[in-house]
Amino acid sequence: MAAFTVYPGKAGMARAEAELDGMKREKIGELEELGACKGVMDAIGMLEAAERIRKVASELADLVVASLIIALHLDNAFRRAAMAAGRARIREKGYTGKINDHGWQMTTILLRGGLRLTLWTPYLRPSRKGWRGRPRRYRGKAGSGDFPILTALGIQDGVTPDARSEIARQIVQCASYEEARDQLRRDGMEVDISVLVRVAVSTGEEALRQRDDALEAALEGPLPERSALEGRRVRVSVDGGRVRTRKPKVGRRKGKKKGRQPFDTPWREPRLITIDVLDDEGHADPRWRVIYETTLGDADRTFTLLTGLLRLLGVHLAEVVEFVSDGAEWIWRRVEKLVHDVGIEPERTRLVLDYYHACEHIDEAISACSNLKGDAASKLYRELSRKLEEDGGAAEVIKRLRRLARGRRARAMKEQIAYFNAHIHHMEYARLRSEKLPIGSGVVESAIRRVINLRFKSSATFWKDQHVEPLVHLRAILKSGRWDAFIRAFLSQCYHLSASPEGCTLVEAVPDRLAA
């Protein structure tokens, strides 16, 4: 059972309902027969029976969903409400003219179990009377019209909400498009890769729009008076990854041998933000899920996004906000403005240079000393790295390095000394240890690997610019463990995070086993 067609009109839908009822009875009977243990004599038989039961159950689920869609089309009250909402959506796009009801038009929907349901459904479209030429002004990627009943049910891009969720999840979770297609095929959904990518990218683009709208409102509106982060210890980190993109060479002809368009492969830098809650010992609190947010924008865009996100979540109400990062200049030039714009009191802010990056600069400084080799260099490195963790240790390290900055090595060492001078107030590691706060940025380094590198930085993989940001955004949500909450918020046309302590989009996520 790969396809089912519903003929137009009430008579056609009534006939479809009767056919679906008969097919459901057949599937139920098949399940009962499979459950009678006939022919299961060994492990292989058990495996095959379980696979067949799961396949039939999935087909039955699709038939039930198809019946529900048809029943809603026949519900007069639901249909009238959906038509009114469809007209309102077209008006929101800026169209002020007449909206024509084009009656029931044919379309095909893909269901989660792989069933393709072809049916006739109401279609609205702005009137083109008086227009000249192609109606470009109001036409977008999805066309200028609207299928109001399908839109009301969250059925867009030709897929049901649960099919959309699974397609997008597999595309960003699997190591390749081919692997995602094969995984969906095992679950009964036979779909071309082009369709899978289109649905996933469309989902990511809409999710980015919802996010940007929410964060823009947070930037312009007042700070929340209540927050799930109130009284918590919060850690914020920012870092960048690398993704190789694919840009066709303009004006170049396709190759004669393979007929392919030549292209360049420039690197892009997706920026990743992590926000997590710390327990009293300075470790990531297991009762809270980390927040990942991404952008392909520049440094200013990244910090605008971070400012809006922190304002939205009400981070100004936290007990302590620790900002940990490496020594990237584009980050530290913007941190103080960020703290001011978010409304965090300076005494509750900790700006921290990642301890391990600081140690790397100690190692680079020592490596510039040609008279320090082997055990002597290792001994000095251990001594200075330990000194860095002591009270006033950064100043002492600078003093020791200045003594070594002589002769040919002076220039190279002075660069490292300047680095330490620039970050001396970010290296109060003894104080952080006493407050039981972390001194490393491992959370964002790990996130870069999990969110970006393992999926988007594969060897000989080149991404289209328009695909990278939506898909990276979706993978960040998936890897933060918020996929189900995201899908529900997505279908409600809102951002999946909020400051509300009661909302379904809580930052907090306490598993039952930990709540006790």
- Tell me the pairing of strands 271-278 and 291-295: antiparallel
Q: Which of 319, 495, 358 is nearest to 439 (CA)?
A: 358
Q: Which of 268, 340, 213 is nearest to 323 (CA)?
A: 340
Cβ within 8 Å of residue 425, ≥6 positions away: 351
* Alpha helices (runs of H) in 221-354, residue ranges in sequence order: 299-313, 329-342
Q: Is the Cα dihedral 463, 468, 472, 475 positive or negative?
A: negative
Calculate mean pLDDT across residues 391-415: 85
Please say if the pLDDT value at position 46 is more than 80: yes
- Model confidence band, residue 132 (pLDDT cutoffs 50, 70, 90): low
Domain boundaries, the chain: 3-74, 356-430
Q: What is the per-residue pLDDT across 303-349, written as a single tens digit (0 to 9) for each?
A: 999 999 999 999 999 999 999 999 889 999 999 999 999 999 999 99
- Model confidence band, residue 258 (pLDDT cutoffs 50, 70, 90): low
What's the CA gap between 129 and 186, in Å, rounded?
A: 49
CA 323 to chain centre: 22
Q: What is the per-residue pLDDT across 155-172, written as a single tens digit (0 to 9) for each?
A: 999 999 999 999 999 999
Residue 80's SS3 state is: helix
Backbone angles phi, psi at 3, to 5 degrees: -150, 155
Residue 260 DSSP symbol: P
pTM of the full structure = 0.90
CA–CA–CA angle 192, 492, 2 (5° rounding): 30
Calculate mean pLDDT across residues 421-436: 94
| Residue 383 identity (one-letter amino acid) | E
- The predicted structure's pLDDT at residue 102: 86
Q: Where do the DSSP E strands lie in 9-98? A: none
What's the CA gap between 181 and 198, in Å, rounded?
A: 13
DSSP element (H, E) containing 205: helix 193-220
**Which of 263-272, 364-373, 467-476, 490-499 comes out lowest in average pLDDT?**
364-373
